[in-house]
Each structure stands twice: as C-alpha cells, then as structure tokens.
DNA sequence: GCCCAGGCACTCA
DNA sequence: TGAGTGCCTGGG
C-alpha cells in the first residue's frame, strides 16, 4: 500500500496527529532539504512555509501542529509534509537486499521528503552552492526580511518573497543580504521566472529531463541545484542529487572507495533505486553527513 | 592567515 | 571533453 488516509483531530487551533509512522520532525527538518526552521526544544520546531508560521511539537504518542485548522491542514500541511505517503513501503523496498540503505534507513527512520514551494526552492538551492547550511539559512532570512511580507502575529517572521517582490532586488542589495557571487544568479532566476521562460505553472507538465534542461538555462543552476529543486520543490522523487556527501558515501560503500564519475553514480542510482532514488538520496545524505562518512 | 563549505562558470589544452 | 581555478563570506 503506497498511500493511506491519515487520522487526526482538531482541538482549538491545534491539529493533533496520533497515528503516524516514519515521521520524526527533527530528522525531517534537519536532513538538509529545508532551510526555514527554528529549533525551540527537542522535537519542537517553528517553520515558515507557504506564508505561514507553524509550530510542530512531537512526543512518543503524538505530533501537534499549531496554529492551524482542519482545512488548512488538509490543503497546506498534509501535502507539505507528504503525510499520506507510506514511507514504510519505500523503506522496505530500499532496504531489501541493500545493507547500506538498510543501515541508512535505520539511522534516520523519520525522514520525510517535504514538498516545498517551487520559487523558494529554486532561489534557496541557488544560494546553497558552495555554502554552509547555517549561512544559507541566514541569507534566506535576510532576503525574506528585506523583500517578503511580514507574517502577522509573529515577531521577526517574514514569508519568502514572491517573484514580483524580488523584481525589486538588484545586485548591490542582494550583496547586502550576503548572497555573495550568487546575487547575479538569483537575479537571472527571478528574471526567467518573471518572463515565463521558466513557467512555474507549467512545471508539472514537463518530463523530468525536459524540466532539468529548462532549469539549467538559469545562470548558476547546474546538475546538483536543478536536481535539488526537482526533488524538493517539484515532486520529482526519482532524481538523485549528487553532492559531495552523496558522492563520498556512494564511493565509500558501492564503489570500493575508488574515484567514480558523477554520471556513473547517477546511472547506478537510477538502476538500483529506480523511482525511489530521491528517498535513497536523502537517507544516504543524512547518514553520510552526520557520520562524516568518506571524508578524508 | 588559511582552509573550506550540499557548485558553477569559465578557461585552456 | 575534461581538468583546473576563482568566487562572497565567515567559522574553525
């Protein structure tokens, strides 16, 4: 069974999820796929997404989402957290006959792949290149604060800006947001989305290969960034973003620690993990990065 | 002060 | 076609 109906209850402004599997909020948020969260306590986080602020608190029996309501939960947060997908099914397939994936899955069984906004993902992963995660978070916060809408009722919380809002930006202002050499890439992305050269409403109609070549027309968007945008912001779960950590872990476990071309790794992933390559990538990435696997 | 980070573009052979 | 190198910036 690949999908299931989920059960939850609404209590005031809280949605309480009591039946769930494969969802540990810390693992899902801190596995490097998303940048707009704040850790308050253990398994207690604030996130900003889709023009909203949401607090998520988890213990052994339940997960509480606050503030929200049933209709918003259905239309925004269930898709965002991919809550209807049966991850046990995927983990079983990936772990079957693959001891590396089995260990990686056991290491972080609560990772889910978020479905993030396209434009925010595009700009965020452009910023991610040659950068560290805390700095990526800071830069996105700077840009949101400067160009995005303030979210009412919360201190210092700003939505990620729209295309129209970012049209106001120029290189010098983006440099003040600490984007560095990526400023011109961001502006090129904004321009191409604004002129519909990259048409965000037609993304779902494109074949993955077509979508990739479209994204790579943007300056500063190469193999890795386009794969991340497709996996995390376009629902293409079959792509296998191959960054330094994935390279290291693949080389270490699957290629006898010998140097391998990225294309060869991607071919291997496609053959080996198939339509679940994106999930495999997240388990492997998190496993490699937290355990520093393959780093010299 | 140097090195490096979830890459990419550019150059030169 | 592939290897080598510079790039904003700031923390270690």
Distance between the alpha carbon (CA) of A257 and the C1' atom of B13, Å: 29
pLDDT in the model for residue A225: 97
- Residue A253 CA to residue A239 CA, distance in Å, equals 20
Bases in strand B with any atom closer than 7 Å to a protein CB: 5-10
Q: In the block, which residue shows the tokens 């990620």?
A: A160
pLDDT in the model for residue A2: 93
pLDDT in the model for residue A280: 97
- Residue A292 CA to residue A296 CA, distance in Å, equals 9
Answer for A150: CB within 7 Å of strand C.
Answer: no
Phi, psi of A92 (to 5 degrees): -65, -45
Q: Reduced to 3 states, what is the DSSP secondary structure of residue A158?
A: strand
Neighbours of A289 (CB within 10 A): 19
CA quadruple A179, A185, A188, A194: dihedral sign? negative
Q: Which nucleotide is nearest to A243 (CA to C1')?
A: B6
Distance between the alpha carbon (CA) of A218 and the C1' atom of C5, Å: 22
pLDDT in the model for residue A1: 83
- Residue A89 CA to residue A78 CA, distance in Å, equals 18
Distance between the alpha carbon (CA) of A237 and the C1' atom of B2, Å: 40
pLDDT in the model for residue A17: 96
Answer for A266: CB within 7 Å of strand B.
Answer: no
Bases in strand C with any atom closer than 7 Å to a protein CB: 7-11
- Beta-bridge mates of residue A46: A38, A55
Answer for A179: CB within 7 Å of strand B.
Answer: no
Q: In the block, which residue shows the tokens 């707009």?
A: A36
Q: Which nucleotide is nearest to A181 (CA to C1')?
A: C8
pLDDT along chain A (296 residues), means of 10: 92 95 95 95 96 96 97 97 97 96 97 97 98 96 98 94 98 97 97 96 95 96 97 97 94 90 92 96 95 86
CA quadruple A190, A132, A40, A61: dihedral sign? positive
Strand (E) positions, chain A?
8-11, 14-17, 37-41, 44-49, 52-58, 63-66
A34: tokens are 């998303």
- Residue A281 CA to residue A194 CA, distance in Å, equals 31
Task: Give the CA distances from residue A209 to residues A195, A203, A277, in Å, rounded to whole numbers and listed in that order.
Answer: 22, 12, 15
Q: What is the four-CA torsion angle of A273, A278, A282, A288, rounded to 10 degrees? A: 50
User: How far does Cα A1 stand from its chain's mean position?
Assistant: 24
Q: Reduced to 3 states, what is the DSSP secondary structure of residue A44?
A: strand
């Amino acid at each position: 069974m690949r999908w299931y109906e989920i059960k939850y209850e609404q209590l005031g402004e809280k949605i309480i999820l009591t039946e769930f599997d494969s969802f540990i909020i810390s693992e899902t948020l801190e596995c490097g796929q998303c940048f707009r969260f704040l850790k308050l306590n253990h398994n207690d986080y604030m996130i900003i997404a889709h023009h909203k602020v949401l607090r998520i608190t988890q213990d052994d029996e339940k997960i509480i989402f606050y503030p929200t309501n049933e209709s918003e939960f259905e239309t925004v947060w269930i898709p965002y957290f991919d809550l209807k997908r049966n991850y046990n099914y995927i983990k079983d397939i990936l772990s079957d006959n693959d001891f590396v994936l089995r260990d990686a899955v056991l290491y972080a069984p609560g990772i889910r792949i978020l479905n993030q906004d396209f434009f925010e993902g595009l700009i965020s992963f452009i910023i991610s290149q040659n950068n560290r995660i805390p700095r990526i978070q800071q830069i996105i916060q700077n840009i949101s604060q400067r160009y995005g809408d303030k979210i009412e009722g919360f201190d210092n919380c700003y939505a990620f800006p729209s295309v129209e809002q970012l049209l106001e930006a120029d290189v010098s202002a983006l440099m003040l947001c600490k984007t560095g050499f990526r400023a011109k890439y961001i502006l090129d992305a904004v321009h191409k989305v604004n002129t519909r050269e990259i048409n965000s409403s037609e993304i779902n109609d494109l074949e993955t290969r077509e979508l990739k070549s479209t994204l790579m027309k943007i300056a500063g968007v190469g193999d890795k960034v386009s794969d991340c945008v497709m996996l995390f912001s376009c629902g293409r779960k079959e792509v296998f973003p191959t960054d330094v950590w994935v390279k290291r872990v693949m080389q270490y476990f699957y290629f006898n620690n010998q140097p391998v071309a990225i294309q060869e790794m991607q071919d291997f992933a496609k053959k080996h993990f198939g339509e679940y390559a994106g999930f495999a990538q997240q388990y492997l990435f998190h496993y490699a990065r937290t355990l520093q696997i393959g780093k010299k």
